[in-house]
Amino acid sequence: MSDPPSGAPAPALPDGGGKGTERRRDVTVWGSFMWGYADVGADIYVALGLVMAAAQGATSLAFGLAGLVYILIGFGYTELASAYPVAGGGQYFALRGLGDFWGFVAGAALLLDYTIDIALFSVASVGYLNFFWPYLVGHAYVKHPIALGPLTLHDPVLAFEALALIAALIWLNIRGIKESSWFNAILGGVDIATESSIIIFGFLFAWKPSLLAAQWHATMSHFSFHDFAYGSSLAIISFVGLESISQAAQVTRRPATIIPRTSITLIFTVFIFAMAFSTLGLGVMPWQTFRDNIHDPVAVLAHHIPRIGMVAGPFAAFLGVTILAISANSGIMSASRLTFSMSRLRLVTSWLDKVHPRRRTPVRTIVLFSMIGALQVLLSAFTPQILDTLGNLYAFGATLGYILVFISLIKLRFSDPVTPRPYRVPLNLPWTRKDGTRVSLPILGFIGLLGVSMIFFEVVYTHRIGRIAGPTWVLLCLVYYALYRRSQKLPIFGSVPHDWEKEQIEVLTSAEEFDLLEQYKHALAARDRKRT
């Protein structure tokens, strides 16, 4: 995740663990929105070509179905982040609702995604950099495979460029890089303006409804469920970054007021852009052109728009290089934040929290997870499409994490009905339990769980690499978890005692949500009287 929207540097992690806190900040609605958009807004630069190559003329439908599920996921994150405004995201929500074991599983899925963030967005960033290849060497970028015995390194130049970018990010983070929220806000604003201009001028000057209809008809006349399922599961990549909602809530004063408004706006903004780009692309160029330019699809699309293409193409490519590099760096920072949260909750060793004595940066997590990302780049380079392989892995981790978030949302409605929820997922059914406690059943929560489960099925069914590498990662993490918990004489499938009520009071106090704090204390008192 990017740095807090106020522009203040991210705090150094405490030496050796312990309970660290972050200063709540006066974050504006715009600042909160742009912090989230800095994470989510770059995703269409990666996903557009991947989904086009798989779903072909049905790409808009693939984005639409994945987008509807994404909207429900966003509703769930907004409710949980405004009710529990702490860092940790899906890992914390799963631990709070389902216990330590499932909290660790959610954390393992998130760590997989963060390492894939480093690898995927690094490859995507240098892919847009190669858009300028003709300006430098006089011809378009061409892959030059290298045979290494029985294996083939399919795109060594792209892999080397991505590894060099990761090395630079490691160096910058060890030295203590601090992302400027002003820079992210400006870059995000420029990106929104650029994407909007591409869409507006594209529909005015280049879009051909007949081309869109022809490609739709050609695809549906030879419809392949496997290809469409593969494309719609990859479309979830264009909607990642929802963990930033909980990260923003952690450092925001009055998150109950700000987070719901900015989160819902962010969710629908990203959905509209994804639908607009996919529909525009199919009406401007054949889907095969996107497949052949899978590393820089937005820049190629902008370049094909009459009157503005000569400027819009290179500018979109430059913007893609920049915003994707920032997204790759956010993977490094997010892994550090997540491991700190997990060590505080005694899910992983505090060894990962050790910081550099002088620079006060978490060197161990920076190097460890960045090197895992570099290894993923290198291994993916031995497959025909690096981005496609990394997308396989990302989709597995994201959908697994979202499933646990939905289950936690439903479970917390029953196990913690007294916590005030300033925002609730729409469509709730009143339910009275045997003890007289009133609970609201989230109907859209169940529908969202079903939708994410369907995408998870698509991932397992269609992603040959993801269905092997993803579960292998989770199993290896579980082996580590079992060994660590046993060494600490902690239960593997059980949970250590947590005083959630005390922590919730501290969280609401630090967030200056005094009205919610009073509601919470009254609800606790009423519950205790009923028990007595």
| CA pair distance 206, 63, nearest whole angstrom | 21
The reply to whether 30 falls in a domain is: no
Closest CA to 362 of 331, 340, 342, 330: 340
Is the residue at 70 inside a domain? Answer: yes
* Model pLDDT, residue 182: 66
The answer as to whether 233 is a domain residue is: yes
Same domain, 454 and 509: no
| Domain, as residue range, for 520 | 499-532
Domain shared by 455 and 340, yes or no: yes
Residue type for 300, please?
Answer: V
Instruction: Tell me, yes or no, whether 412 and 517 share the same domain.
Output: no
**Statement to judge: residues 388 and 483 lie in one domain:** yes
Q: Are the CB atoms for 58 and 278 separated by under 8 Å?
A: no
Rounded distance, CA 194 to CA 209, Å?
A: 23
Q: Tell me if residue 416 falls in helix, strand or coil.
A: coil
Q: Is residue 335 part of a domain?
A: yes
Cα 192 to Cα 38: distance, rounded to the nearest angstrom: 10
Q: What is the pLDDT of residues 88-138, one digit of tens each?
A: 788 999 999 999 999 999 999 999 988 998 999 999 999 999 999 888 877
The answer to whether residues 386 and 523 belong to one domain is no
CATH code at position 334: 1.20.1740.10
241 and 364, same domain (yes or no): yes
Is 178 in the same domain as 82? Answer: yes
Residues 273 and 394 in one domain: yes
- Same-domain status, 424 and 528: no
So what's the pLDDT on residue 241?
67
| Counts for the chain of helices (H) and strands (E), in that order | 21, 4
The per-residue pLDDT for 395 is 85
In a domain, 331, yes or no: yes
**Does one domain contain both 430 and 529?**
no
Closest by CA position to 49, among listed 287, 249, 210:
287
How many folded domains does the chain comprise? 2
- Decide if 49 is inside a domain: yes
Smallest Cα–Cα separation from 253: which of 4, 511, 80, 34?
A: 511
pLDDT string in tens for the chain (532-residue length): 444 433 333 333 333 333 444 555 666 666 667 766 766 777 889 999 999 999 999 999 999 999 999 899 999 999 998 899 887 788 999 999 999 999 999 999 999 988 998 999 999 999 999 999 888 877 778 788 888 888 888 889 999 999 999 999 998 888 776 655 566 677 778 888 899 999 999 999 999 999 999 999 999 998 899 999 999 988 887 776 667 666 666 767 778 778 888 888 888 888 999 999 999 999 999 999 999 999 999 999 999 999 899 999 999 999 999 889 888 888 888 888 888 888 888 999 988 877 777 777 788 888 999 999 999 999 999 988 888 888 888 888 889 999 999 999 999 999 999 999 999 999 999 888 777 778 899 999 999 999 999 999 988 888 888 888 889 999 999 999 999 999 999 999 999 998 999 999 998 888 888 899 999 999 899 888 887 7
pLDDT for res 404: 94
d(C-alpha 45, C-alpha 49), whole Å: 8
Q: What share of the chain is helix, strand, coil (3-state, %, to 5)?
A: 70, 5, 25
CB 436 within 8 A of CB 360: no
Q: Is 27 within a domain?
A: no
Domain assignment present for 230: yes
Written as one letter, the residue type at 354 is: K
517 with 443, same domain? no
CA distance 175 to 188: 25
Is the backbone of residue 188 left (phi > 0), alpha (psi -120 to 50) or beta?
Answer: alpha
- Report the pLDDT value the prediction gives residue 354, as an integer from 0 to 100: 77
Q: Are residues 511 and 470 in the same domain?
A: no
